Structure 1
Amino acid sequence: MSEDIHALSGAYAVDALDDIERARFERHLAGCSACQAEVDSLVAAAHQLSALTDVAPPPSLRAKVLAEIATVRPLPPLVVPQSQPVDEDESPVAPTPVAAPTVDTTSSTSPAGSGADELEDRRRSRSARGFSRGWRLVVAAATVAVLAIGGFTVWRQVSQDPQRVMADQVLAAADATRYGERLAGGATATVVRSSSLHRAVLITSGMAQPPAGKVFQLWLQDATGHMTSAGLMPGGGDQVVVLSGDATHSKGAGITVEPAGGSDQPTSNPIAFVAFA
């Protein structure tokens, strides 16, 4: 067990402590504001990291990549010098004689050997042009692929909704527990809490809109009955909202009608209160 109780904040934030260490740290956490702030920041960071999940690319991405391949201008190929340095201490090596190819002089008026040389030059020229063209196509395709992957990465990051991802994780958690309450007019409010994720999610159905100039504000109630703001609802109707703050030890969640912008403490009786029991 660590001798420095403050050093357990990181492991506590990701639920990596055993039962003895967790109990010891939670007793310390109740009276240490520095550890409370650090745990809150680490939990928020862990939730942001967990939101970075792969999603399917849009159907238009493949067509865009194929279209861009034909429009991206490639760079010219690199020309590598063929000459090789000669060591001054070594004597030059005489080239090995090569027999000249036999040329049918009856079918050409050119000097002997010139026809074979010209044919070989043409073959080399065609080969060089084919290699150069193939290399340019490879470079173009690679460039478009890099651009497409970079664009997809940016698209994937901006398309994520961290709140929705967190809500899905809470709802699918193995320790998710549901608590329900029926509101006036037949509307319902259900809170799903996961102690392992330290979060709670509010699900409303058929809820009326708040009065003009008012908002619905969410609250978490601790063991002493104190209410802590857990954020604002975007409106009535059918909503799925992640409550702000650590809901692990909360005793219930409530909804009140507050002035626009919210309040530090409830200014009205809750229109719904869901007890975690």
Structure 2
Amino acid sequence: MNDIHTLAGAYVLDAVDDIERAAFARHLADCPSCAGEVAELLETAARLADGTWSVPPPRLRTDVLAQVSRTRQVRPGGGSGRDRRTAGSRWRTLSVAAVAAVVLAAGAGAVTWTVAQQRVRDERVATAAARAETERIRTVLAQPDLAVQRRGLSGGGRLTVFSSPGQDSGVALLADAPPIPADRAYQLWLMDGETARPANVLPAGVNGDTVVLTGVRGRSAVAVTVEPAGGSAQPSTSPLAIVPLT
């Protein structure tokens, strides 16, 4: 073995035989550099084992073992000068393969960690938005000029509208509406006579929710229709209910 220092990666990945393992273990006791490298690689492996780690690419193990099988195996301390040079080359090749394995595994873990972090950020944004929506609803319901109107929907259910002209805002509560397909959605409209302006669209397939309305001042009513998921620019079906604002 020309350079035992190159065994660090192979040692961490357990890609050494018993003799090599024992020799490198003894070497670690007297080599702070290798001990530090092994500690760092073990720490990386431990991080990859947590809940955010994903399985490395399926061919990773096969590729590493194939690389090892193509490298001539020579016992340390034996053979000709050429054999010893080949052995040294083997340690370097195996070390490169080991480091490549760690890098690839770390890359897979890093990608999963990034996705997990993005999900956390998305959840935080959604939570903040929900809190803001709740606060807006509370503000509307606390206004002294609050007006409440309710109408039943054709086919069942009801639409209740709380409006505050002073806040130019309102709250619409759709409850127990008839079930709709997942590619359809209930949409609310602010009516100005016969003219309908999009107000809010419920999530697709949902038949009940509470939403905030803006720009209610001067409007005559709130209507609800069934539209394609995502909503429409103008009503495409007849209103299931029209709730007057005054």
Larger radius of gyration: 1
TM-score w.r.t. the length of structure 1 is: 0.40
Q: Which has the higher contact order (CA 8 A, sep 6+)?
A: 2
TM-score w.r.t. length of structure 2: 0.45
